[in-house]
Structure formats: structure tokens, C-alpha cells
Amino acid sequence: MDRFTFAGHDDNPFLQGPYAPTVTERVITDFKIFGQIPDDLAGVYLRNGPNPKYNPAGTYHWFDGDGMVHGFYFQNGKLTYRNRWIKTQGLIQEEGQGKSTLPGVFSLVNPAETKDTANTDIIVFNKRAYGLWYRSGMPYALDPITLETLGIDSFSDTLQSPISAHAKVDPVHNELRVFSVSMKQPYLSYGVINEEHKVRHWTPIELPGLRLPHDMAITTNYSIVMDLPLYYVHSPKGLRSYFDHTLPARFGILPRLGNEQHIQWFEAEPCYIYHVINAWEREHKIEMLVCRVTDPVPPLKDKAHDPLLNMVNFLGKTLKTAQYYYYCFDLKSGTAEEQPLDSRNSEFPVINQRYMGQPSRYSYHVLLDEVDLPLFSGLIKYDYLGKHTEAVTWPKPYVGNEPVFAPKAKASSEDDGYILTILTSCHQDQSRLLILDAKHITAPPLATIDIPAHIPIGFHGCWAEMSQI
């Protein structure tokens, strides 16, 4: 068996089936391939996600697992696969004791004590990969090819605060724009890291209280931070998340190197946004595409006293209102416009990263299955300008993961490239990697690669071209 089976957790679906953690770190170079790997596909596809190494001490939450990166390295039509745990300080501590000792989400009174697993996001910047965490942690640097953990990167001792997942690589200025969420004031900070490997700019941003933003957006000259009405409240069992339907969603737009006094705030209907698609400038306006969630804390009809059952119900429902959505912020008038662009339930969007912060047309999202668990049943391509979509459904017993876009070296258009995505088997110790034509995702795959290993469902990934690694 290639999957961990932890004693005492038989009823936890996030330790079973496609979510089950894998046992082994490995390197694979021999694959069964249907079709052909494109000769011009050169670079590395990295995917991060939770993979607990030891039997969880308490009730396991999907977000608790130790970060594990899966890497697919392409060169000259050949593929090498490897996977490695991110050697965080917490994991190293537990390896020394041979067991899980640090608290997870369900074990806490104070969420600030949560183990930093670096399991949420992975980016490549200045020829290093970085594992990032959704609650904000110090970035863990990795070799983008070997996946060896290089340790916490303080960027030449200039980074003094943790940063959140979903930092944005700015392709115009070759900078990394970041935000930081804290349990104490300042609750939100914004910064810019330059190509000299130093923090160039850092500023606190005043909020009315602790918030739980998950993403940000950038354009060439501006950054967009969020004050959404999701925050912690005290309860007899500690802090819990609460969504206030009476408060507006606020979007703060500041110049790329601006400070708090330069922020222009815009109000919109209450909502939550897990993931931004892209944003760009058009004359005196900022346009932004997102996956918008109507209610991130949906009521549970059959609310139980069992925290595990509540978690399963919550995670299954919280993404079920996510929709393709448009915002327009007028910097002159100070007004905001918003509208849904599609009624289908889609999330985990990706674009051609060469167009990050620039006007873009295409995005690729996962489709969510109509079940209680967050399982990805297919992929949809949106054409923002043409108002056209095409979608593909994955064959059972496979479920999907967030895709990545790999542009062709000599791309002639925005969608001239490849979509790579992992399919996870619900039952078997094998996975698949699909390579699709990004122009026509419903066409037969260019290559279907059988991976003789279990790759659990994960969170986020990235594509890095050869020049970036």
C-alpha cells in the first residue's frame, strides 16, 4: 500500500481515499505514457498540499497536514517525478520525537499556536521555490528541481514578519508582492520583495479588527488587499470563524510602493473570496476577476456535536457558492461595480502567469462535484472577452486537482500553451498526469501519463519555465 492508514481515524474522510497521505518520498523516471509529451514542454510543475507524516494526535483537519511538494520536471520530451516533505521546523521537531506533537485546527484555543506546515501554496521566485501557508508563516525555500528544503528564507534578514499564501510574482518588475495576516495589530501588512532578494517596501494596513483574508491581487501599478467580513469571535470552546452578513466587503487599492495613507477603499456586497483570478488597469479603473463565495460559513441543517462531522459538512458546503465574478473599481469616482459572470460552481482558478496583473482573457477552474466533500469533478475554461466556456469531466474513479498553465516558449497568443493537471484515484495507488492543449481542453489529452504512486488531493501549484529555475 502507498497510503498511510492511521489508527483511530477510520471515520475521518480526509485521511481516506483520495485524501489519504502517501507513505513514500520517491523519484520516478519510467512511466506508461499514452500519447506524447510535447518536445517544447520544458520546466517544472510543482504542486503543494497536506500530507501528515505521523498519526495526528487529535481530530485531524484537512488543513493540518505537513506540506508535501510533488514535482514534475520536463526536458527534451522526458519526465522525472519526485515528491518531498517540506522540512518545516514543526516537522523536524516531530521527527525528533517520532510522533505528532503539535496542535492542529481542532486542538486549539488560540489559532496563533497552529503548526506552520507550509502546505498551502508554492511559487517560484528568483530561482527558488517557496512553500507558503494560508495563516501566514515564514516562507520555506526549496530547490525547485530536487525539492530539497533549504530552510526559512528571511530575504537577507530583511523579512521580519510572516507572509501568507498567494504571494504574487510580478512579471513586469520582477518582484514578489506579499501580504501578512496577524492575530494582533497590525492585523494586515503589505510588502514588496525585489530581485536583489530583499524587502524593498513594507507597510502596515489598519483594519477595524482581525480578519481572515486568503488572497490579494496586483496590477502593474497597484495592489489590492481585502477586508472581508470573516473574522474570529470568542466562544466557550475558543475562537471560531464568523461571517457578518451586515458588513460590506471592502477592497483597498494602493500604489505598488504605497503606504496606508495612499489606500483607496471600495465597498461591495458582503462575500468572501478565497481566490483571485487576475486584475488589471483600464484607464482610471481597476478590473478584477475572482471566484466569489456568497457565504464562507454556511449554516449546517444537521449541525452535530461532533466536530469532525461539522468539519466535513462545512468544507463540503463552503465552496459550493463559489462563482466566476467581476469587479470594477473607479479610482476617480470612488465607486465599485460588481456582477456574476457564470452560475456554475467553480474554484481554484489559474491563468497564464505571463499575464499576471495585465489584461487577460482566459482562466481555467476546477468544477466541484455534487457531494458533501470538496472533490473536483472536472475542468472549465472561461473566455472573459468571448463569453465562451468549455468544460471537461474527469473519468471515475479519478478526481481532479488545481491545474497549471505552461506557456509555449514561442507562444503566439495568451492560451497558446498546455494545461497540466493531476488526477487522483479514489481507490488505487496510482495517479495520472494529463497534458492538455490549453486552446482546446475538451480535445483528447496530448499525453496521459500513469504515475505508479498515490498523489493525494492537494491545494495549489505553479509552473516554472527553465529560465526561472
Three-state secondary structure along 231-287?
A: EEEEECCEEEEEECCCCCEEEEEEECCCCHHHCEEEEECCCEEEEEEEEEEECCEEE
Q: Is the peptide bond before 270 cis (omega within 30 degrees of 0)?
A: no
**Domain presence at residue 76:** yes
Q: How many domains does the chain have?
A: 1
CATH of the domain at 392: 2.130.10.10
Q: Which amino acid is at 331?
A: L
Domain membership flag for residue 178: yes
d(CA 423, CA 398) in angstroms, rounded, equals: 6
Q: Which three cell numbers stand for residue 33?
A: 505514457
The gap from C-alpha 171 to its chain's centroid, in whole angstroms, comes to 19
Beta bridge partners of 232: 241
Report d(CA 85, CA 53) in Å as an integer.
Answer: 9
Residue type, 249: A
How many Cβ atoms from other residues are within 10 Å of residue 261's Cβ?
Answer: 7
Confidence (pLDDT) at 406: 99
Burial 368-377 (b: 16+ CB within 10 A, else e): bbeeebbbbb
Kindly state the cell numbers that stand for 255.
500604489
Structure confidence at residue 316 (pLDDT): 65
Whether residue 72 is contained in a domain is answered as yes
- Asked whether residue 65 is assigned to any structural domain, the reply reads yes
The answer to whether residues 116 and 128 touch, using CB atoms and an 8 Å cutoff, is no
pLDDT, residue 318, reads: 75
pLDDT at position 111, please? 58
The pLDDT of residue 321: 85
Q: What letter would DSSP give residue 379?
A: E
Give burial (CB, 10 Å; 0-12/13-18/19+) of 348.
buried
Of residues 179, 175, 225, 174, the one with CA closest to residue 202: 179
Listed in sequence order, the residues at least 6 apart from 3 whose beta carbon sits closer than 8 Å to its beta carbon are: 20, 21, 22, 23, 429, 454
C-alpha cell at 120: 498551502
Q: What are phi and psi of 5, to 5 degrees?
A: -125, 105
Q: Is 322 inside a domain boundary? A: yes
In this prediction, residue 114 carries a pLDDT of: 78
- Asked if residue 226 lies in contact with residue 288, where contact means CB atoms within 8 angstroms, the answer is no
Amino acid at the residue 214: H
Residue 141's pLDDT is what?
99
Q: Is residue 6 part of a domain?
A: no
Extract the C-alpha cell encoding 90: 514543526
Distance CA 341, CA 234 (A): 36
Whole-model pTM: value is 0.96
d(CA 111, CA 311): 16
- In this structure, the number of other CB atoms found within 10 A of the CB of residue 318 comes to 18
> Helix, strand, or coil here: 79?
strand
Domain containing 401 equals 13-468
214 is in an annotated binding site: yes
Residue 166 known to bind ligand:
yes
- Asked if residue 2 is part of any domain, the answer here is no
For residue 109, the model assigns a pLDDT of 52
Spatial neighbors of 210 by CB under 8 A, at least 6 apart, are 182, 183, 187, 231, 232
Q: CB 303: neighbour CB atoms within 10 A? A: 11
pLDDT, position 107:
63
Question: Which pLDDT score, from 0 to 100, does residue 312 have?
Answer: 65
**Cα 282 off chain centre by:** 27
Q: Per-residue confidence of the chain (469 residues) as pLDDT tens digits?
A: 677 778 878 888 899 999 999 999 999 999 999 999 999 999 999 999 999 999 998 888 899 999 999 999 999 999 999 999 999 999 999 999 999 988 777 665 565 567 899 999 999 999 999 999 999 999 999 999 999 999 999 999 999 999 999 999 999 999 999 999 998 999 999 999 999 999 999 999 999 999 999 999 999 999 999 999 998 776 766 667 889 999 999 999 999 999 999 999 999 999 999 999 999 999 999 999 999 999 888 776 555 556 666 666 666 677 778 999 999 999 999 999 999 999 999 999 999 999 999 999 999 999 998 767 889 999 999 999 988 999 999 999 999 999 999 999 999 999 999 999 999 999 888 999 999 999 999 999 999 999 999 999 999 999 999 999 9
d(CA 99, CA 6): 12
Going through 36-85 in order, the beta strands assigned E by DSSP cover 43-50, 67-75, 78-85
164: DSSP letter: B
Q: Distances from the Cα of 404 to the Cαs of 95, 217, 365, 419, 435, in angstroms? A: 32, 18, 10, 6, 10
Neighbours of 458 (CB within 10 A): 24
Q: Which three cell numbers stand for residue 82?
A: 519526485
8 found inside a domain: no
Under DSSP, is residue 70 helix (H, G, I), strand (E, B) or coil? strand
Cell of 92: 523536524
Q: Is 460 known as a binding-site position?
A: yes
Is 448 strand, coil or helix? strand
